[in-house]
Amino acid sequence: MCIGSAVPSMFPSRNVLGQPLDDCSCDPMTGWYRDGKCNTDDRDFGSHTVCCVVTEAFLEFALRQGNDLITPAPQHGFPGLKPGDSWCVCARTWLAAVNDGSACPLDLESTHEAALEIIPLSLMETHAV
């Protein structure tokens, strides 16, 4: 279990299955709130709500889109990702990766219900771990 606390502006911490949101990753620490979960709020315009197990193909796709998830950025507390890491990614980025054939698996129990505003559950289920 990751250490973190609820923030007043945070949306209810529920997953796409309507259950309590599970941790996505504490190592590396992920999430809009860096609480290990894909929690979100109205300020998260990227909707960092999809808990993915990143693959080389997905990381390369994101890089081609201008989102370098590979290179560490210690000034922002970002260690850089490698295949097999879990990370809260932007719902639209993941959906674009699906359309590109570069989608990585996702964890339904750790994907925030807000992702349903962008991605149909049936599509998520076809890529679930």
pLDDT band for position 5 (cuts 50, 70, 90): low
- The verdict on residue 66 lying in a domain is yes
User: What's the sign of the alpha-carbon dihedral 8, 32, 11, 18?
Assistant: negative
Beta bridge partners of 118: none
What is the domain range of residue 93? 17-129
* Gap between the Cα atoms of 3 and 62, Å rounded: 28
Phi and psi angles of residue 43, each rounded to the nearest 5 degrees, phi first? -85, -15
- The verdict on residue 23 lying in a domain is yes
- The verdict on residue 6 lying in a domain is no
The domain tally of the chain equals: 1
**Angle (nearest 5°) at CA 42 between 46 and 26:** 60
Q: What is the mean pLDDT of residues 58-84?
A: 94
Using a pLDDT cut of 90, give the percent of the chain over it. Answer: 87
Question: Which of these ranges, 4-13, 29-38, 63-72, has the smallest mean pLDDT?
Answer: 4-13
Q: What is the mean pLDDT of residues 20-36?
A: 94
- The verdict on residue 106 lying in a domain is yes
List pLDDT tens digits, range 76-96: 888 999 999 999 999 999 999
Q: With 80 as the cut, is the pLDDT of residue 14 above it?
A: yes
* Domain CATH number, residue 122: 3.30.56.110
Question: For the packed helices 56-64 and 91-100, what is the interaxial angle rounded to 10 degrees?
Answer: 110
- The verdict on residue 74 lying in a domain is yes
Q: Give the pLDDT score at 78.
A: 87
Q: Give the pLDDT score at 76.
A: 81
Q: With 70 as the cut, is the pLDDT of residue 63 above it?
A: yes
List pLDDT tens digits, range 38-51: 999 999 999 999 99
**Angle (nearest 5°) at CA 80 between 26 and 32:** 50
Contact between 87 and 78 under an 8 Å Cβ cutoff? The reply is no
Q: Give the pLDDT score at 118.
A: 97
* Gap between the Cα atoms of 6 and 66, Å rounded: 31
Strands (DSSP E) along the chain, which ranges? 48-53, 86-90
